[in-house]
Amino acid sequence: MEGGWPLMRSFFLCLTVSLLLQGRGDSFTINCSGFDQNGVDPAAFQAVFDRKAFRPVINYSIPTHVNISFTLSAILEVNAQLQLLTSFLWMDLVWDNPFINWNPKECVDINKLTISAEKLWLPDIFIMESMDVDQTPPGLTVYVNSEGRIKYDKPMRVTSICNLDIFYFPFDQQNCTFTFSSFLYTVDSMVLGMDKEVWEITDTSRNIIQTQGEWELLGINKATPKMLVGSNLYDQIMFYVAIRRRPTLYVINLLVPSGFLVAIDTLSFYLPAESGNRAPFKITLLLGYNVFLLMMNDLLPASGTPLISVYFALCLSLMVVSLMETIFITYLLQLATSEPPPMPQWLHSLLLHCTNPRKCCSTASQEGNKVLGVTPTQLPDLKEPVELVGKMPSSGEAELNGCPESTRAQQEHEVQKQHLVGLWVQFSHMMDTLLFRLYLLFLASSIVTVVVLWNT
Ligand SMILES: *[C@@H]1O[C@H](CO)[C@@H](O)[C@H](O)[C@H]1NC(C)=O
Ligand SMILES: *[C@@H]1O[C@H](CO)[C@@H](O)[C@H](O)[C@H]1NC(C)=O
Ligand SMILES: *[C@@H]1O[C@H](CO)[C@@H](O)[C@H](O)[C@H]1NC(C)=O
Ligand SMILES: *[C@@H]1O[C@H](CO)[C@@H](O)[C@H](O)[C@H]1NC(C)=O
């Protein structure tokens, strides 16, 4: 304690002299006599601590070189709505302080020391994208080696702004930037550099990130453009951090159930249209799908229009379209069985052509037989036509028994009507098949489109 004042005075004398005499680094050698008895003498470093307020250089026209590196230790959250990435970094800064210098041989072989960071000048490096105040924990220390090289590591929770594009959700990749720059010092005073390669940073980060969370680190790139603000040029280092979402959760919870529901909806076309089960079934599916969408809404990004929303809308519209088709076919069948309107000639020939192209050609000569010939062969699998076929012999019997004219005409009318019903039923089934094929085509093309979009 008593030796403190003379020591300091001699040190300051030493400083002034050395500054006058060209300011060589050697003059700032720390006197460590007594380190072996009393530990590190704070007085020996007092001169350095007193300079804390100023950038530690001997010649002020020489910029301070600061080497930057970082380790990404966690990706905590990606918020698409606010466009924020919350991550945890360990930032490493290395620079030289020419006022710290000692000879390890004289100083009981001490090669490096830890010093409280608050006692020293620290470069004001910050991350430009950061949208939160620096939450550096207090009481950090730095390593100083005997040549005055200072190594300062600080943990940082960084909430940085990042241009998030969720169009490809859940198969999306994001490219977020961390721009390290000095807040105040221009290139004349501070130059940034790196002592590690980017791949080293990437490898360390990959090993450190233990969490198997939603995001996976793909790679880190860097660029070093200088930033011009007004007439001041600032040095900066930009790191592009590419991260990818792990999509399994979303595939299992969103895409697969949705796909299954559409598949069931497609299969329900095989339910017979006459049974009347098809429409209720499809309505139930539609309801179920709506409930599913409501429940899974939380998993979707809160903003933007990702492709997955388009996919859901597509699934929903496919279901609605298939329900509409069912309603149309049910209406047609109802119309056909209750009050069949006269069938236009063109529709009739089209029907014949489409249902039985070969037969219609071979029997074209026998007009009368053709009409009757088609009906029984085409209709056995249908409900009403079966009844119709059953009725026909009975009407034939009645004819043989020699009924009066009016009954005969009535019967003929009845036969013709049944025939018309048969034709309309046949037409309805044809429409059903045709629309089902169109639906399948639409389904296939939309699946292909979505898959192609997702892969680009
Ligand atoms: C170092 O300090 C001691 C006293 O603590 C003093 O006796 C010695 O002369 C100093 N050495 C130098 C090189 O200034
Ligand atoms: C400081 O550095 C500048 C540029 O390197 C040089 O021109 C100047 O002479 C130096 N001044 C002193 C006192 O060494
Ligand atoms: C910074 O890194 C460069 C390149 O690795 C190295 O030459 C230089 O000495 C380092 N400077 C500091 C202050 O660490
Ligand atoms: C990230 O974006 C920057 C430009 O903004 C680009 O140079 C870099 O290559 C991108 N990185 C990846 C992995 O896409």
What confidence tens digit (pLDDT) does each residue in 392-420 have? 444 444 445 555 678 889 999 889 888 88
Q: What is the pLDDT of residue 134?
A: 77
For ligand 3, the distance from its centroid to the CA atom of residue 42, given in whole angstroms, is: 29
Q: What is the pLDDT of residue 356?
A: 67
Does position 344 have pLDDT exceeding 90, yes or no?
A: no
Across 144-153, 207-216, 392-401, the highest mean pLDDT is recorded for: 144-153
Range with the poorest average pLDDT among 2-11, 265-274, 278-287, 308-317: 2-11
User: Whose alpha carbon is nearest atom 7 of ligand 4?
Assistant: 240
Q: Is 222 in the pocket of ligand 4 (CB under 6 A)?
A: no
Q: Which ligand is nearest to the CA of 152?
A: 3
Count Cα atoms within 13 angstroms, Cβ side, for 275.
10
Distances in Å between the Cα of 232 and the Cα atoms of 183, 185, 354 are: 12, 9, 81
For ligand 2, the distance from its centroid to the CA atom of residue 64, given in whole angstroms, is: 14
For ligand 3, the distance from its centroid to the CA atom of residue 149, given in whole angstroms, is: 10
Q: Which atom of ligand 4 is nearest to the CA of 175?
A: 1
What confidence tens digit (pLDDT) does each residue in 352-374 have? 887 765 544 443 333 333 333 33
Q: What is the pLDDT of residue 401?
A: 54
Does position 233 have pLDDT exceeding 80, yes or no?
A: yes
Does position 92 have pLDDT exceeding 60, yes or no?
A: yes
Cα separation of 279 and 324, whole Å? Answer: 9
Does position 306 have pLDDT exceeding 50, yes or no?
A: yes
The neighbouring-strand residues paired with 282 are none
Range with the poorest average pLDDT among 38-47, 224-233, 418-427: 38-47
User: Whose alpha carbon is nearest atom 8 of ligand 4?
Assistant: 240
Range with the poorest average pLDDT among 2-16, 135-149, 433-447: 2-16
Q: Is 221 in the pocket of ligand 4 (CB under 6 A)?
A: yes
Q: What is the pLDDT of residue 352?
A: 82
What confidence tens digit (pLDDT) does each residue in 99-108 have? 999 988 888 8
Q: Which atom of ligand 1 is nearest to the CA of 32?
A: 1
Rounded to an integer, the average pLDDT of 13-17 is 42
Ligand 2: residue of 20, 24, 59 to mutate (most ligand atoms within 8 A of CB) is 59
Q: Retrieve residue 150's tokens.
A: 């200072």
For 22: left if phi > 0, alpha if psi spans -120 to 50, otherwise beta; the answer is left
What confidence tens digit (pLDDT) does each residue in 64-78 have? 999 999 999 999 999
Q: DSSP letters along 369-437, please?
A: HHHHHHHHHH-TTSHHHHHHHHHHHHHHHHHHTT--HHHHHHHHHHHHHHHHHHHHHHHHHHHHHHHHH
- Chain-centroid distance of CA 370 in Å reads 62
Q: Which ligand is nearest to the CA of 92?
A: 3
Does position 52 have pLDDT exceeding 80, yes or no?
A: yes
For ligand 1, the distance from its centroid to the CA atom of residue 3, given in whole angstroms, is: 10
Rounded to an integer, the average pLDDT of 278-283 is 94
Q: Which ligand is nearest to the CA of 60?
A: 2
Cα separation of 352 and 370, whole Å? Answer: 9
User: Whose alpha carbon is nearest atom 4 of ligand 2?
Assistant: 61
Averaged pLDDT score across all residues of the chain: 83
Range with the poorest average pLDDT among 27-36, 123-132, 163-172: 27-36
| Residue ranges lining ligand 2, Cβ < 6 Å | 59, 61-62
Does position 294 have pLDDT exceeding 80, yes or no?
A: yes
Q: What is the pLDDT of residue 336?
A: 87
Q: Is 240 in the pocket of ligand 4 (CB under 6 A)?
A: yes
Identify whether the C-beta of residue 413 lies closer than 8 Å to the C-beta of residue 370. no
Q: Retrieve residue 101's tokens.
A: 């210098």
Q: What is the pLDDT of residue 396?
A: 43
For ligand 2, the distance from its centroid to the CA atom of residue 148, given in whole angstroms, is: 21
Does position 335 have pLDDT exceeding 60, yes or no?
A: yes
- CB neighbours of residue 308 within 10 Å: 23
What confidence tens digit (pLDDT) does each residue in 107-118 have? 888 899 999 999
Rounded to an integer, the average pLDDT of 216-236 is 93
Ligand 1: residue of 2, 8, 9, 10 to mutate (most ligand atoms within 8 A of CB) is 10
User: Whose alpha carbon is nearest atom 3 of ligand 4?
Assistant: 240
H or E, element range at 245: strand 236-245
Does position 230 have pLDDT exceeding 50, yes or no?
A: yes
Q: Which residues contact 322 (CB under 8 A, 6 or more apart)?
A: 265, 266, 268, 269, 282, 439
The neighbouring-strand residues paired with 180 are 127, 237
What confidence tens digit (pLDDT) does each residue in 240-256 have? 999 999 999 999 999 99
Rounded to an integer, the average pLDDT of 272-289 is 92
Q: What is the pLDDT of residue 26?
A: 55
User: Whose alpha carbon is nearest atom 12 of ligand 1?
Assistant: 31
Does position 40 have pLDDT exceeding 50, yes or no?
A: yes
Rounded to an integer, the average pLDDT of 370-389 is 39
Cα separation of 426 and 207, whole Å? Answer: 68
Does position 23 have pLDDT exceeding 50, yes or no?
A: no
